[in-house]
Structure 1
Amino acid sequence: MIKAEQPTFVPGNTRCFTELNRNRLLGTTVYRVAPKGSLLFWEGDLSDKLFYIKNGRVKLTKSTEEGKELVLYMYQAGDLIGHADLFTRTRHSFSAEVLEKSEIGVIDYKSLEELICQHGDFAIDFMKWMGVHHRITQTKFRDLMMYGKPGALSSTLIRLANTYGEVQENGWILITKKMTHTDLANMIGATRESVNRMLRDLRKQDVLDMTAGKMMIKDLSHLQHMCRCELCPVEICRI
């Protein structure tokens, strides 16, 4: 009996595409190098493209009337970025800033529409990606609004653990990406001072610790209780 080949792990939110449809999608992609600090698009720009991160990281931000920045998404290699409402020409609700030198693929909506019209199975996979995209948005807004700033912070720490966490031998989770208190404040719409205070409280409760400038989660269940965690799948509960 011939054993079936093990599927290759695909990073990012394009895992909802089959290998065939993922290759179809990436076959229409034009790649370019984006330097650190550059913008893929501004809030208010016409949304007529999708962007695929081959390598690197990109953050999506929303500006408030007071000029403050709220970080809503942190994308990495394998992620597809853009508005999911393909057939209506809208404008971007967020700005996309490149966090490190990245290789970005640009997918024109016209090419995407042709794939959807020509291949029914591709259209189904694209709808799956749209569903994941909307669920991430819904859960993030739920976490930001329902359980106050402590709940929003605990949810963000859980998402960081799912995205960048490494489980240690003692069961603790090391978040391998260094995050400043300002970064965390921008992710939950709080001040840096309030984040300092909440993190200090978590360290006093032995829920969190710092090692070499990186956060170590010692009691994940405590964070889950604080934000009424619904145990969403990892592809949804991510930063």
Structure 2
Amino acid sequence: MSTLPALEDTVRNTCCFSDANFTRMLSMMTEIKMPAGSHLFWEGDAADRFYYIYSGCVKLSKSSVEGKELIVYMYTSGDIVGQADPIGSRTHSYTAEVLEDSVVGVIDQQDMEFLICQDGAFAMDFMKWMGNHHRLTQTKFRDLMMYGKPGALCSTLIRLGNTYGEHTGGRIIIHKKLTNTDLSNLIGATRESVNRMLGDLRKCGAVDIVDGLIVINDISHLQGICHCEHCPKEICRI
């Protein structure tokens, strides 16, 4: 039996679904607990479910045959995870790994399609979610491809600041411990390149490392390197 929390106790995706439509979607979900290291799905699995993250963190990644990993998204509380694919075999293109103990709501794609067909307002909200997700993907690949690895790293640091950052004293403390290997997987670079680029940013005072956490001292410097277009925070996130 699902023990879904009340709407006021959840973290919701405020930019997409209305309260009424969000409640309807939650009412059809089954709540599951996922331990760190487990997977929501693997690349190639049937894309027949959507997931809502109540708490925790889920990494969506793509791996090459050589074993190199590219982290595409890091989903957190309030995010919806799933692949809406009306054409083709409906298989996942990525792997979703649970990074920390998480609570996730699950809804079958058939139930989601029922809600979409039943109510035009719900369908519009779903389209907003899809559009928002596509725009997030487009801006990420723009940053990865157009301004080199330094631009990709600076963009990623800004996105991390928007997702996990705490603004204090003119600085942004990113409350998510990431290794240089994690950062390299986020931008498709080598760990050695990330070491060097972070060193350059620390030398000029733009960033610092305090107790294992990345601190952004001068976000305008990072914005200049990645040619920041000042996207809204629901788009400029990790």
* TM-score of the pair, normalised by structure 1: 0.93
1:148-197 per-residue CA deviation (whole Å, 9 max, x = no partner) reads 1000000000000000111112x111111111101100100111111000
Structure 1 residues without counterparts, runs of 5 or longer = 1-7
Partners of 2:57 and 2:74 within 8 A in 1: yes
Match of 1:209 in 2: 208
Q: Distance in 2 between matches of 1:149 and 1:21?
A: 41
Give 1:217's aligned amino acid. Answer: I
Q: Distance in 2 between matches of 1:83 and 1:101?
A: 23
Give 1:74's aligned amino acid. Answer: M
Partners of 1:12 and 1:76 within 8 A in 2: no
Match of 1:3 in 2: none
Asked if 1:182 is matched to 2:181, the reply is yes
SS of 1:22 mapped into structure 2: helix
Structure 2 residues without counterparts, runs of 5 or longer = 1-7
1:87-136 per-residue CA deviation (whole Å, 9 max, x = no partner) reads 75411110000001111111101111111111110000000000011001
Partners of 1:143 and 1:151 within 8 A in 2: yes
Give 2:217's aligned amino acid. Answer: K
% identity of equivalent residues: 61
Match of 1:227 in 2: 226
Asked if 1:154 is matched to 2:154, the reply is yes
Q: Distance in 2 between matches of 1:175 and 1:85?
A: 34
Give 1:225's aligned amino acid. Answer: G
Give structure 1 regions of 4+ aligned residues with deviation exceeding 2 angstroms: 8-15, 84-89
1:198-228 per-residue CA deviation (whole Å, 9 max, x = no partner) reads 0000000110111111111011011111111
Asked if 1:173 is matched to 2:160, the reply is no
Match of 1:29 in 2: 29
Aligned residues: 232
1:7-63 per-residue CA deviation (whole Å, 9 max, x = no partner) reads x79746453100000001111101111111001100111111101111111000001
Give 2:234's aligned amino acid. Answer: E
Q: Distance in 1 between matches of 2:203 and 2:228?
A: 22
Match of 1:60 in 2: 60
Q: Distance in 1 between matches of 2:86 and 2:182?
A: 31
Distance 1:114 1:89, change over 3 A: farther
Distance 1:129 1:113, change over 3 A: same
Partners of 1:55 and 1:77 within 8 A in 2: yes
Match of 2:136 in 1: 136
Partners of 1:116 and 1:122 within 8 A in 2: yes
SS of 2:116 mapped into structure 1: helix
Q: Please tell me the root mean square deviation across aligned C-alpha atoms, in Å.
A: 1.7
Match of 1:192 in 2: 191
Q: Distance in 2 between matches of 1:36 and 1:232?
A: 32
Match of 1:92 in 2: 92
Partners of 2:10 and 2:54 within 8 A in 1: no
